[in-house]
Chains A and B, each alone.
Chain A
Protein backbone atom coordinates (compact mmCIF):
# COMPACT_ATOMS: atom_id res chain seq x y z
CA UNK A 1 0.00 0.00 0.00
CA UNK A 2 1.27 3.48 -0.82
CA UNK A 3 1.04 6.39 1.57
CA UNK A 4 1.37 10.15 1.67
CA UNK A 5 2.51 11.83 4.87
CA UNK A 6 0.97 15.25 4.36
CA UNK A 7 2.56 16.85 7.42
CA UNK A 8 6.14 16.09 8.40
CA UNK A 9 9.16 18.30 9.16
CA UNK A 10 11.88 16.43 7.32
CA UNK A 11 14.61 19.01 7.96
CA UNK A 12 14.71 17.54 11.47
CA UNK A 13 14.82 13.91 10.38
CA UNK A 14 17.64 11.57 9.40
CA UNK A 15 18.37 9.62 6.25
CA UNK A 16 17.39 6.49 8.22
CA UNK A 17 13.90 7.95 8.46
CA UNK A 18 13.81 8.54 4.72
CA UNK A 19 14.88 4.95 4.06
CA UNK A 20 12.34 3.51 6.48
CA UNK A 21 9.56 5.74 5.19
CA UNK A 22 10.16 4.69 1.59
CA UNK A 23 10.37 1.03 2.62
CA UNK A 24 7.04 1.42 4.44
CA UNK A 25 5.38 2.73 1.28
CA UNK A 26 5.50 6.52 1.70
CA UNK A 27 5.83 7.99 -1.81
CA UNK A 28 5.29 11.69 -1.14
CA UNK A 29 5.57 14.06 1.81
CA UNK A 30 4.46 17.61 2.49
CA UNK A 31 6.61 19.72 4.79
CA UNK A 32 4.74 22.68 6.25
CA UNK A 33 6.88 25.66 7.14
CA UNK A 34 6.95 25.82 10.93
CA UNK A 35 9.14 27.02 13.79
CA UNK A 36 12.48 25.47 14.60
CA UNK A 37 12.26 25.14 18.37
CA UNK A 38 14.79 27.94 18.66
CA UNK A 39 13.11 31.28 17.87
CA UNK A 40 14.51 33.08 14.82
CA UNK A 41 15.77 36.61 15.38
CA UNK A 42 16.11 37.92 11.85
CA UNK A 43 14.39 37.64 8.52
CA UNK A 44 17.42 36.05 6.86
CA UNK A 45 16.88 32.95 8.96
CA UNK A 46 13.38 32.64 7.53
CA UNK A 47 14.65 33.21 4.02
CA UNK A 48 17.23 30.46 4.29
CA UNK A 49 14.72 28.10 5.94
CA UNK A 50 12.17 28.61 3.17
CA UNK A 51 14.93 28.17 0.57
CA UNK A 52 15.93 24.91 2.26
CA UNK A 53 12.37 23.60 1.93
CA UNK A 54 12.38 24.10 -1.85
CA UNK A 55 16.07 23.31 -2.32
CA UNK A 56 18.21 21.02 -0.24
CA UNK A 57 15.39 19.12 1.49
CA UNK A 58 13.66 18.50 -1.83
CA UNK A 59 16.90 17.07 -3.16
CA UNK A 60 17.55 14.99 -0.05
CA UNK A 61 14.09 13.38 -0.26
CA UNK A 62 14.56 12.64 -3.95
CA UNK A 63 17.64 10.60 -3.20
CA UNK A 64 15.44 8.17 -1.31
CA UNK A 65 12.69 7.99 -3.91
CA UNK A 66 10.29 10.29 -2.05
CA UNK A 67 8.68 13.35 -3.65
CA UNK A 68 8.89 16.35 -1.34
CA UNK A 69 6.46 19.29 -1.34
CA UNK A 70 5.95 22.07 1.14
CA UNK A 71 3.59 24.72 2.41
CA UNK A 72 4.74 28.28 3.04
CA UNK A 73 3.72 30.50 5.91
CA UNK A 74 4.60 32.33 9.09
CA UNK A 75 3.82 30.09 12.06
CA UNK A 76 1.68 31.35 14.92
CA UNK A 77 4.37 31.28 17.62
CA UNK A 78 6.73 33.56 15.71
CA UNK A 79 3.86 35.82 14.67
CA UNK A 80 4.24 37.31 18.14
CA UNK A 81 7.43 39.12 17.12
CA UNK A 82 5.76 41.92 15.18
CA UNK A 83 8.82 43.66 13.74
CA UNK A 84 10.12 40.39 12.40
CA UNK A 85 6.72 39.12 11.29
CA UNK A 86 6.22 42.15 9.06
CA UNK A 87 9.45 41.40 7.24
CA UNK A 88 8.54 37.75 6.86
CA UNK A 89 5.17 38.64 5.33
CA UNK A 90 6.97 40.81 2.82
CA UNK A 91 9.28 37.90 1.96
CA UNK A 92 6.58 35.25 1.63
CA UNK A 93 5.00 35.91 -1.81
CA UNK A 94 8.11 35.03 -3.76
CA UNK A 95 8.18 31.64 -2.02
CA UNK A 96 4.45 31.06 -2.34
CA UNK A 97 4.76 31.35 -6.13
CA UNK A 98 7.30 28.52 -6.39
CA UNK A 99 6.67 25.13 -7.93
CA UNK A 100 5.69 22.44 -5.43
CA UNK A 101 4.30 24.86 -2.84
CA UNK A 102 0.93 23.25 -2.20
CA UNK A 103 -0.68 25.54 0.40
CA UNK A 104 -0.31 28.44 2.78
CA UNK A 105 0.53 26.98 6.18
CA UNK A 106 0.81 26.06 8.82
CA UNK A 107 -0.87 29.16 10.14
CA UNK A 108 -3.38 29.86 12.90
CA UNK A 109 -3.20 30.25 16.66
CA UNK A 110 -0.82 29.27 19.43
CA UNK A 111 -1.66 31.49 22.43
CA UNK A 112 -4.50 33.19 20.51
CA UNK A 113 -2.96 36.64 20.89
CA UNK A 114 -3.90 39.72 18.91
CA UNK A 115 -0.73 39.49 16.86
CA UNK A 116 -1.37 35.85 16.01
CA UNK A 117 -4.81 36.88 14.85
CA UNK A 118 -3.38 39.71 12.74
CA UNK A 119 -0.92 37.52 10.82
CA UNK A 120 -3.38 34.64 10.48
CA UNK A 121 -5.73 37.00 8.69
CA UNK A 122 -3.02 38.54 6.50
CA UNK A 123 -2.01 35.08 5.36
CA UNK A 124 -5.58 34.01 4.67
CA UNK A 125 -5.71 36.94 2.27
CA UNK A 126 -2.45 35.75 0.67
CA UNK A 127 -4.04 32.35 0.12
CA UNK A 128 -6.91 34.00 -1.71
CA UNK A 129 -4.57 36.13 -3.78
CA UNK A 130 -2.47 33.14 -4.87
CA UNK A 131 -5.39 30.76 -5.12
CA UNK A 132 -3.94 28.17 -2.74
CA UNK A 133 -5.46 25.93 -0.06
CA UNK A 134 -4.75 26.63 3.62
CA UNK A 135 -3.30 24.40 6.32
CA UNK A 136 -4.44 25.55 9.78
CA UNK A 137 -2.47 24.62 12.89
CA UNK A 138 -4.71 24.41 15.94
CA UNK A 139 -3.37 25.33 19.39
CA UNK A 140 -2.35 22.77 22.00
CA UNK A 141 -3.75 24.91 24.82
CA UNK A 142 -7.42 25.81 24.76
CA UNK A 143 -7.67 23.63 21.68
CA UNK A 144 -11.41 23.44 21.28
CA UNK A 145 -11.95 27.18 21.50
CA UNK A 146 -8.95 27.86 19.27
CA UNK A 147 -10.23 25.45 16.65
CA UNK A 148 -13.70 26.97 16.57
CA UNK A 149 -12.23 30.45 16.39
CA UNK A 150 -9.93 29.44 13.51
CA UNK A 151 -12.89 28.23 11.49
CA UNK A 152 -14.87 31.40 12.27
CA UNK A 153 -12.02 33.55 11.00
CA UNK A 154 -11.60 31.48 7.83
CA UNK A 155 -15.31 31.88 7.11
CA UNK A 156 -15.14 35.59 7.86
CA UNK A 157 -12.51 35.91 5.12
CA UNK A 158 -14.75 34.15 2.65
CA UNK A 159 -12.58 31.10 2.08
CA UNK A 160 -14.72 28.03 1.40
CA UNK A 161 -14.13 25.09 3.80
CA UNK A 162 -13.17 22.68 1.01
CA UNK A 163 -9.97 24.74 0.61
CA UNK A 164 -9.00 24.48 4.28
CA UNK A 165 -7.48 21.65 6.30
CA UNK A 166 -7.76 22.02 10.08
CA UNK A 167 -4.94 19.97 11.59
CA UNK A 168 -4.10 18.37 14.95
CA UNK A 169 -7.69 17.42 15.75
CA UNK A 170 -8.84 15.16 18.54
CA UNK A 171 -12.11 13.56 19.61
CA UNK A 172 -13.28 16.91 20.98
CA UNK A 173 -12.83 18.92 17.81
CA UNK A 174 -13.40 16.44 14.97
CA UNK A 175 -17.19 16.67 14.82
CA UNK A 176 -17.37 20.45 14.57
CA UNK A 177 -14.66 20.55 11.89
CA UNK A 178 -16.26 17.91 9.70
CA UNK A 179 -19.81 19.20 10.25
CA UNK A 180 -18.75 22.60 8.96
CA UNK A 181 -17.30 21.09 5.78
CA UNK A 182 -13.58 21.49 6.55
CA UNK A 183 -10.97 18.77 6.06
CA UNK A 184 -9.85 17.27 9.37
CA UNK A 185 -6.21 16.34 9.96
CA UNK A 186 -5.18 14.01 12.78
CA UNK A 187 -1.59 14.01 13.97
CA UNK A 188 -0.52 10.68 15.38
CA UNK A 189 2.09 11.15 18.08
CA UNK A 190 3.52 8.37 20.23
CA UNK A 191 2.54 10.19 23.46
CA UNK A 192 0.65 13.43 22.95
CA UNK A 193 -1.97 14.65 20.42
CA UNK A 194 -3.65 11.53 18.94
CA UNK A 195 -2.65 7.94 19.47
CA UNK A 196 -2.98 5.18 16.87
CA UNK A 197 -5.64 3.30 18.79
CA UNK A 198 -7.73 6.40 19.34
CA UNK A 199 -7.40 7.15 15.63
CA UNK A 200 -8.89 3.78 14.75
CA UNK A 201 -11.95 4.66 16.80
CA UNK A 202 -12.18 8.09 15.13
CA UNK A 203 -12.04 6.45 11.71
CA UNK A 204 -14.78 4.04 12.73
CA UNK A 205 -16.94 6.85 14.05
CA UNK A 206 -16.50 9.45 11.31
CA UNK A 207 -15.62 7.30 8.30
CA UNK A 208 -13.11 8.40 5.71
CA UNK A 209 -14.68 11.49 4.18
CA UNK A 210 -12.31 14.46 4.58
CA UNK A 211 -10.32 12.67 7.30
CA UNK A 212 -6.53 12.78 6.93
CA UNK A 213 -3.80 11.22 9.07
CA UNK A 214 -0.31 12.69 9.38
CA UNK A 215 2.77 12.28 11.57
CA UNK A 216 3.83 15.92 12.10
CA UNK A 217 7.16 14.32 12.96
CA UNK A 218 9.78 16.93 13.82
CA UNK A 219 12.63 17.47 16.29
CA UNK A 220 10.57 16.29 19.26
CA UNK A 221 9.36 12.84 20.27
CA UNK A 222 7.44 11.79 17.18
CA UNK A 223 7.36 8.98 14.64
CA UNK A 224 8.09 9.38 10.93
CA UNK A 225 6.21 6.12 10.33
CA UNK A 226 2.97 7.18 12.04
CA UNK A 227 0.96 7.09 8.81
CA UNK A 228 1.83 3.54 7.70
CA UNK A 229 1.66 2.27 11.30
CA UNK A 230 -1.78 3.78 11.83
CA UNK A 231 -2.90 2.34 8.51
CA UNK A 232 -1.75 -1.10 9.59
CA UNK A 233 -3.64 -0.86 12.88
CA UNK A 234 -6.78 0.38 11.15
CA UNK A 235 -6.70 -2.57 8.76
CA UNK A 236 -6.05 -4.99 11.62
CA UNK A 237 -9.03 -3.62 13.53
CA UNK A 238 -11.49 -3.86 10.71
CA UNK A 239 -11.43 -0.50 8.93
CA UNK A 240 -11.92 -1.22 5.23
CA UNK A 241 -9.02 -1.05 2.82
CA UNK A 242 -10.85 1.62 0.81
CA UNK A 243 -11.23 3.82 3.88
CA UNK A 244 -7.60 3.37 4.87
CA UNK A 245 -6.53 4.30 1.34
CA UNK A 246 -8.58 7.48 1.55
CA UNK A 247 -7.41 8.48 5.03
CA UNK A 248 -3.73 7.73 4.42
CA UNK A 249 -3.35 8.67 0.75
CA UNK A 250 -6.22 9.79 -1.41
CA UNK A 251 -7.67 12.54 0.78
CA UNK A 252 -4.32 14.30 1.06
CA UNK A 253 -3.98 14.05 -2.71
CA UNK A 254 -7.49 15.44 -3.25
CA UNK A 255 -7.07 18.29 -0.79
CA UNK A 256 -3.60 19.47 -1.78
CA UNK A 257 -4.27 18.63 -5.44
CA UNK A 258 -6.49 21.71 -5.41
CA UNK A 259 -3.27 23.75 -5.56
CA UNK A 260 -2.45 22.39 -9.02
CA UNK A 261 1.00 21.65 -7.55
CA UNK A 262 0.44 18.17 -6.17
CA UNK A 263 -0.04 15.53 -8.86
CA UNK A 264 0.05 11.78 -8.57
CA UNK A 265 1.86 11.60 -11.91
CA UNK A 266 4.88 13.20 -10.22
CA UNK A 267 5.60 10.03 -8.30
CA UNK A 268 3.72 7.26 -10.07
CA UNK A 269 6.18 5.20 -11.98
CA UNK A 270 6.96 1.58 -12.29
CA UNK A 271 10.65 1.04 -12.48
CA UNK A 272 13.67 0.44 -10.38
CA UNK A 273 15.31 3.59 -9.22
CA UNK A 274 18.95 3.40 -8.44
CA UNK A 275 19.99 6.05 -5.95
CA UNK A 276 23.25 6.68 -7.80
CA UNK A 277 21.47 7.86 -10.90
CA UNK A 278 18.27 9.02 -9.27
CA UNK A 279 19.07 12.54 -8.29
CA UNK A 280 22.60 11.52 -7.67
CA UNK A 281 25.45 13.27 -6.04
CA UNK A 282 27.25 11.32 -3.34
CA UNK A 283 26.87 14.12 -0.85
CA UNK A 284 24.03 12.50 1.03
CA UNK A 285 25.11 8.95 0.35
CA UNK A 286 28.68 9.80 1.47
CA UNK A 287 30.34 6.86 -0.18
CA UNK A 288 27.66 4.41 0.98
CA UNK A 289 26.63 1.93 -1.63
CA UNK A 290 23.45 3.12 -3.27
CA UNK A 291 20.47 0.90 -2.73
CA UNK A 292 18.19 -0.45 -5.38
CA UNK A 293 14.79 0.92 -4.52
CA UNK A 294 11.92 -0.95 -6.01
CA UNK A 295 9.41 1.61 -7.14
CA UNK A 296 6.18 -0.23 -7.57
CA UNK A 297 3.57 1.79 -9.40
CA UNK A 298 0.27 2.68 -7.92
CA UNK A 299 -1.61 -0.45 -8.93
CA UNK A 300 -5.17 0.27 -8.05
Chain B
Protein backbone atom coordinates (compact mmCIF):
# COMPACT_ATOMS: atom_id res chain seq x y z
CA UNK B 1 0.00 0.00 0.00
CA UNK B 2 1.29 3.47 -0.88
CA UNK B 3 2.16 5.65 2.11
CA UNK B 4 1.62 9.36 2.49
CA UNK B 5 5.40 9.76 2.36
CA UNK B 6 5.56 7.99 -1.00
CA UNK B 7 2.75 10.16 -2.34
CA UNK B 8 4.72 13.26 -1.38
CA UNK B 9 7.85 11.87 -3.08
CA UNK B 10 5.86 11.07 -6.20
CA UNK B 11 4.35 14.54 -6.35
CA UNK B 12 7.68 16.27 -5.79
CA UNK B 13 9.29 14.19 -8.56
CA UNK B 14 6.66 15.12 -11.16
CA UNK B 15 6.46 18.84 -10.34
CA UNK B 16 9.21 19.82 -12.77
CA UNK B 17 6.90 18.82 -15.65
CA UNK B 18 4.46 21.68 -15.08
CA UNK B 19 4.71 25.33 -16.03
CA UNK B 20 4.34 27.78 -13.16
CA UNK B 21 0.84 28.65 -14.38
CA UNK B 22 -0.17 24.99 -14.45
CA UNK B 23 1.42 24.39 -11.07
CA UNK B 24 -0.58 27.26 -9.64
CA UNK B 25 -3.86 25.98 -11.15
CA UNK B 26 -3.32 22.50 -9.68
CA UNK B 27 -2.31 23.87 -6.28
CA UNK B 28 -5.45 25.98 -5.98
CA UNK B 29 -7.72 23.05 -6.92
CA UNK B 30 -5.96 20.61 -4.63
CA UNK B 31 -6.31 22.93 -1.69
CA UNK B 32 -10.04 22.86 -2.26
CA UNK B 33 -10.55 19.13 -2.85
CA UNK B 34 -8.45 18.37 0.24
CA UNK B 35 -11.30 19.71 2.38
CA UNK B 36 -14.21 17.34 2.91
CA UNK B 37 -16.77 20.12 2.48
CA UNK B 38 -15.36 21.02 -0.97
CA UNK B 39 -14.54 17.55 -2.20
CA UNK B 40 -17.69 17.42 -4.35
CA UNK B 41 -15.95 19.82 -6.73
CA UNK B 42 -13.60 16.99 -7.65
CA UNK B 43 -15.66 15.95 -10.71
CA UNK B 44 -15.61 19.33 -12.38
CA UNK B 45 -11.97 20.03 -11.54
CA UNK B 46 -10.99 16.63 -12.90
CA UNK B 47 -12.74 17.43 -16.20
CA UNK B 48 -11.43 20.98 -16.39
CA UNK B 49 -7.85 19.69 -16.36
CA UNK B 50 -8.24 19.28 -20.14
CA UNK B 51 -8.71 23.04 -20.48
CA UNK B 52 -5.91 24.20 -18.21
CA UNK B 53 -3.10 21.61 -18.42
CA UNK B 54 -1.31 20.62 -21.62
CA UNK B 55 -1.56 17.04 -22.81
CA UNK B 56 2.14 16.82 -23.61
CA UNK B 57 3.73 13.43 -22.95
CA UNK B 58 6.32 13.68 -20.17
CA UNK B 59 10.00 12.86 -20.49
CA UNK B 60 12.12 11.78 -17.52
CA UNK B 61 15.78 11.65 -16.64
CA UNK B 62 17.26 8.49 -15.16
CA UNK B 63 17.04 9.70 -11.54
CA UNK B 64 13.39 10.56 -11.96
CA UNK B 65 12.70 7.21 -13.61
CA UNK B 66 14.30 5.38 -10.71
CA UNK B 67 12.38 7.38 -8.11
CA UNK B 68 9.06 6.88 -9.91
CA UNK B 69 9.65 3.17 -10.49
CA UNK B 70 10.39 2.71 -6.80
CA UNK B 71 7.06 4.17 -5.84
CA UNK B 72 5.02 2.96 -8.81
CA UNK B 73 6.55 -0.22 -10.30
CA UNK B 74 5.99 -0.21 -14.06
CA UNK B 75 5.68 3.58 -14.28
CA UNK B 76 8.08 3.78 -17.21
CA UNK B 77 6.35 1.01 -19.17
CA UNK B 78 3.64 3.43 -20.27
CA UNK B 79 3.58 7.05 -21.36
CA UNK B 80 2.21 9.60 -18.92
CA UNK B 81 1.01 12.99 -20.07
CA UNK B 82 0.75 16.10 -17.96
CA UNK B 83 -3.05 15.96 -17.76
CA UNK B 84 -2.85 12.48 -16.27
CA UNK B 85 -0.30 13.62 -13.72
CA UNK B 86 -2.50 16.58 -12.77
CA UNK B 87 -5.50 14.29 -12.42
CA UNK B 88 -3.77 11.75 -10.18
CA UNK B 89 -2.76 14.63 -7.92
CA UNK B 90 -6.42 15.57 -7.59
CA UNK B 91 -7.19 11.96 -6.69
CA UNK B 92 -4.49 11.89 -4.02
CA UNK B 93 -5.71 15.17 -2.58
CA UNK B 94 -9.15 13.81 -1.62
CA UNK B 95 -9.55 12.97 2.06
CA UNK B 96 -9.52 9.21 2.56
CA UNK B 97 -12.83 9.38 4.40
CA UNK B 98 -14.59 10.40 1.17
CA UNK B 99 -12.30 9.40 -1.70
CA UNK B 100 -13.95 6.05 -2.31
CA UNK B 101 -17.48 7.35 -2.76
CA UNK B 102 -16.38 10.34 -4.84
CA UNK B 103 -14.03 8.48 -7.16
CA UNK B 104 -16.36 5.50 -7.66
CA UNK B 105 -19.24 7.77 -8.54
CA UNK B 106 -17.05 9.73 -10.94
CA UNK B 107 -16.06 6.52 -12.73
CA UNK B 108 -19.71 6.23 -13.84
CA UNK B 109 -19.58 9.42 -15.89
CA UNK B 110 -15.92 9.65 -16.88
CA UNK B 111 -15.03 10.14 -20.54
CA UNK B 112 -12.24 8.11 -22.14
CA UNK B 113 -9.20 10.17 -21.12
CA UNK B 114 -10.64 10.65 -17.64
CA UNK B 115 -11.06 6.90 -17.25
CA UNK B 116 -7.47 6.40 -18.35
CA UNK B 117 -6.20 8.78 -15.66
CA UNK B 118 -8.48 7.28 -13.01
CA UNK B 119 -7.24 3.75 -13.58
CA UNK B 120 -3.62 4.85 -13.70
CA UNK B 121 -4.06 6.78 -10.45
CA UNK B 122 -5.76 4.16 -8.27
CA UNK B 123 -2.49 2.52 -7.20
CA UNK B 124 -1.31 5.84 -5.79
CA UNK B 125 -4.14 6.05 -3.25
CA UNK B 126 -3.40 5.12 0.34
CA UNK B 127 -6.51 2.92 0.33
CA UNK B 128 -5.93 1.55 -3.20
CA UNK B 129 -7.08 -1.92 -2.24
CA UNK B 130 -10.61 -0.63 -1.64
CA UNK B 131 -10.88 0.03 -5.38
CA UNK B 132 -10.21 -3.54 -6.47
CA UNK B 133 -13.81 -4.14 -7.52
CA UNK B 134 -13.72 -1.07 -9.79
CA UNK B 135 -10.47 -2.27 -11.28
CA UNK B 136 -11.93 -5.65 -12.16
CA UNK B 137 -14.94 -3.85 -13.65
CA UNK B 138 -12.47 -1.92 -15.82
CA UNK B 139 -11.03 -5.12 -17.22
CA UNK B 140 -14.45 -5.63 -18.87
CA UNK B 141 -14.08 -2.48 -20.98
CA UNK B 142 -13.76 -2.72 -24.72
CA UNK B 143 -12.32 0.77 -25.10
CA UNK B 144 -8.72 0.09 -25.98
CA UNK B 145 -7.14 3.16 -24.38
CA UNK B 146 -8.91 2.44 -21.11
CA UNK B 147 -7.94 -1.20 -21.20
CA UNK B 148 -4.31 -0.28 -21.87
CA UNK B 149 -4.30 2.02 -18.83
CA UNK B 150 -5.43 -0.94 -16.73
CA UNK B 151 -3.19 -3.58 -18.25
CA UNK B 152 0.07 -1.85 -19.08
CA UNK B 153 2.62 -0.41 -16.70
CA UNK B 154 0.07 -0.44 -13.89
CA UNK B 155 1.17 -2.14 -10.65
CA UNK B 156 -2.38 -2.35 -9.32
CA UNK B 157 -3.16 -5.68 -10.99
CA UNK B 158 -0.23 -7.62 -9.56
CA UNK B 159 -0.65 -6.01 -6.14
CA UNK B 160 -4.38 -6.40 -5.54
CA UNK B 161 -6.11 -8.77 -7.97
CA UNK B 162 -6.90 -12.35 -7.04
CA UNK B 163 -5.34 -15.00 -9.27
CA UNK B 164 -8.62 -15.53 -11.12
CA UNK B 165 -8.99 -11.78 -11.75
CA UNK B 166 -5.39 -11.50 -12.88
CA UNK B 167 -5.93 -14.41 -15.27
CA UNK B 168 -8.96 -12.66 -16.79
CA UNK B 169 -6.80 -9.59 -17.38
CA UNK B 170 -4.15 -11.59 -19.22
CA UNK B 171 -6.72 -13.53 -21.27
CA UNK B 172 -8.52 -10.32 -22.18
CA UNK B 173 -5.21 -8.92 -23.48
CA UNK B 174 -5.12 -11.70 -26.03
CA UNK B 175 -8.75 -11.25 -27.01
CA UNK B 176 -8.22 -7.54 -27.52
CA UNK B 177 -5.06 -8.13 -29.56
CA UNK B 178 -2.93 -6.39 -26.96
CA UNK B 179 0.69 -7.32 -26.47
CA UNK B 180 1.21 -8.51 -22.89
CA UNK B 181 4.86 -7.54 -22.62
CA UNK B 182 4.03 -4.25 -20.88
CA UNK B 183 1.96 -5.86 -18.14
CA UNK B 184 3.70 -5.06 -14.86
CA UNK B 185 4.78 -8.18 -12.97
CA UNK B 186 4.01 -10.44 -15.92
CA UNK B 187 6.46 -13.28 -15.30
CA UNK B 188 5.64 -13.41 -11.58
CA UNK B 189 2.03 -13.83 -12.60
CA UNK B 190 2.45 -17.18 -14.35
CA UNK B 191 0.23 -19.90 -12.91
CA UNK B 192 -1.22 -23.27 -13.78
CA UNK B 193 -4.83 -22.14 -14.29
CA UNK B 194 -3.78 -19.40 -16.67
CA UNK B 195 -1.57 -21.83 -18.60
CA UNK B 196 -4.49 -24.27 -18.82
CA UNK B 197 -6.88 -21.64 -20.18
CA UNK B 198 -4.28 -20.47 -22.68
CA UNK B 199 -3.67 -24.00 -23.90
CA UNK B 200 -7.42 -24.38 -24.51
CA UNK B 201 -7.15 -21.11 -26.40
CA UNK B 202 -4.30 -22.57 -28.49
CA UNK B 203 -6.33 -25.67 -29.33
CA UNK B 204 -9.40 -23.64 -30.23
CA UNK B 205 -7.48 -21.25 -32.47
CA UNK B 206 -5.45 -23.97 -34.19
CA UNK B 207 -8.58 -26.05 -34.78
CA UNK B 208 -10.06 -23.02 -36.53
CA UNK B 209 -6.93 -22.65 -38.62
CA UNK B 210 -6.03 -19.39 -36.90
CA UNK B 211 -2.75 -18.19 -35.42
CA UNK B 212 -2.16 -17.50 -31.76
CA UNK B 213 -0.05 -14.58 -30.56
CA UNK B 214 3.41 -15.94 -29.72
CA UNK B 215 3.40 -14.23 -26.31
CA UNK B 216 0.82 -16.78 -25.14
CA UNK B 217 3.68 -19.28 -24.87
CA UNK B 218 5.40 -17.03 -22.37
CA UNK B 219 2.62 -17.73 -19.90
CA UNK B 220 2.30 -21.42 -20.85
CA UNK B 221 6.00 -22.20 -20.43
CA UNK B 222 6.55 -24.53 -17.50
CA UNK B 223 3.00 -25.90 -17.66
CA UNK B 224 2.98 -27.50 -21.11
CA UNK B 225 0.40 -30.31 -21.30
CA UNK B 226 0.88 -33.60 -23.10
CA UNK B 227 -2.09 -33.07 -25.44
CA UNK B 228 -0.73 -29.69 -26.54
CA UNK B 229 2.76 -31.12 -26.86
CA UNK B 230 1.37 -33.67 -29.32
CA UNK B 231 -0.30 -30.95 -31.33
CA UNK B 232 2.96 -29.00 -31.45
CA UNK B 233 4.86 -32.05 -32.69
CA UNK B 234 2.34 -32.50 -35.52
CA UNK B 235 2.45 -28.85 -36.50
CA UNK B 236 4.61 -27.30 -39.17
CA UNK B 237 5.83 -24.01 -37.77
CA UNK B 238 8.20 -21.45 -39.14
CA UNK B 239 10.13 -18.43 -37.93
CA UNK B 240 9.80 -17.21 -34.38
CA UNK B 241 6.95 -19.59 -33.62
CA UNK B 242 9.15 -22.55 -34.58
CA UNK B 243 11.99 -21.22 -32.44
CA UNK B 244 9.71 -20.89 -29.43
CA UNK B 245 7.94 -24.21 -29.86
CA UNK B 246 11.21 -26.10 -30.39
CA UNK B 247 12.57 -24.62 -27.19
CA UNK B 248 9.41 -25.51 -25.26
CA UNK B 249 9.43 -29.10 -26.49
CA UNK B 250 13.11 -29.41 -25.56
CA UNK B 251 12.09 -28.21 -22.08
CA UNK B 252 14.55 -25.34 -22.18
CA UNK B 253 13.74 -22.03 -20.51
CA UNK B 254 13.17 -18.78 -22.41
CA UNK B 255 14.29 -15.72 -20.47
CA UNK B 256 12.21 -12.54 -20.01
CA UNK B 257 14.89 -10.86 -22.11
CA UNK B 258 14.19 -13.21 -24.97
CA UNK B 259 10.51 -12.28 -24.90
CA UNK B 260 11.09 -8.57 -24.47
CA UNK B 261 13.50 -8.55 -27.41
CA UNK B 262 11.02 -10.46 -29.52
CA UNK B 263 8.43 -7.78 -28.90
CA UNK B 264 10.58 -5.14 -30.50
List the interface of chain A (C-beta within 8 A of B). 47, 50-51, 54-56, 58-59, 93-95, 97-100, 260, 276, 279-284
Contact = CB atoms under 8 A, between A and B. Distances in A.
B111 A100 contact: yes
Contacts of A54: 111-112
A197 B178 CA distance: 48
A64 to B, nearest CB: 14
Contact of A279 (B50, B108, B115, B144): B144
A276 B179 CA distance: 12
B33 to A, nearest CB: 14
Q: Considering the complex of A and B, which 5 residue pairs feature the smallest CB-CB distances, nearest first?
A: A283-B142, A54-B111, A99-B50, A280-B144, A281-B144
A98 B143 contact: no
B109 A99 contact: no
A260 B52 CA distance: 11
Interface string B38-82: 000001100110110000000000000000000000000000000
A279 B47 contact: no
Interface of B: 43-44, 47-48, 50-51, 108-115, 142-145, 147, 175-178
A59 B109 contact: no
Given A55-B143, A93-B44, A94-B47, A276 B111 contact: no
Given A281-B142, A283-B142, A99 B177 contact: no
Contacts of B113: 99
A93 B41 CA distance: 11
A282 B176 contact: yes
Contacts of A97: 43-44, 47-48
B225 to A, nearest CB: 26
Contacts of B110: 51, 55
27 contacts: A47-B108, A47-B109, A51-B111, A54-B112, A55-B110, A55-B115, A55-B143, A56-B143, A59-B112, A59-B142, A59-B143, A59-B144, A94-B43, A94-B44, A94-B47, A94-B109, A95-B109, A97-B44, A98-B47, A98-B114, A279-B143, A279-B145, A280-B177, A280-B178, A281-B143, A281-B177, A283-B142
A98 B50 contact: yes
B44 A55 contact: no
Contacts of B147: 281
B43 A282 contact: no
B1 to A, nearest CB: 30
Given A93-B44, A94-B43, A94-B44, A58 B112 contact: yes
Contacts of B48: 97
A248 to B, nearest CB: 27
Given A55-B143, A59-B143, A283 B50 contact: no
Given A95-B109, A260-B51, 8 more contacts: A55-B115, A59-B142, A94-B47, A97-B44, A98-B50, A276-B177, A282-B177, A283-B176
B36 to A, nearest CB: 19
Contacts of A50: 109
A280 B142 CA distance: 9
B109 A51 contact: yes
A18 to B, nearest CB: 16
Contacts of A58: 111-112
A279 B116 CA distance: 13
A260 B108 CA distance: 25
Of B44, B144, B178, chain A has the most CB atoms within 10 Å of the CB of B144
A283 B112 CA distance: 16
A34 B250 CA distance: 63
A280 B50 contact: no
Contacts of A260: 51
Contacts of B144: 59, 279-281
A99 B176 contact: no
A98 B112 CA distance: 10
Contacts of B175: 282
A252 B176 CA distance: 35
Of B47, B111, B175, chain A has the most CB atoms within 10 Å of the CB of B111
Nearest to B143: A59
B109 A280 contact: no
Nearest to A278: B144
A276 B44 CA distance: 33
A50 B43 CA distance: 15
A59 B147 CA distance: 12
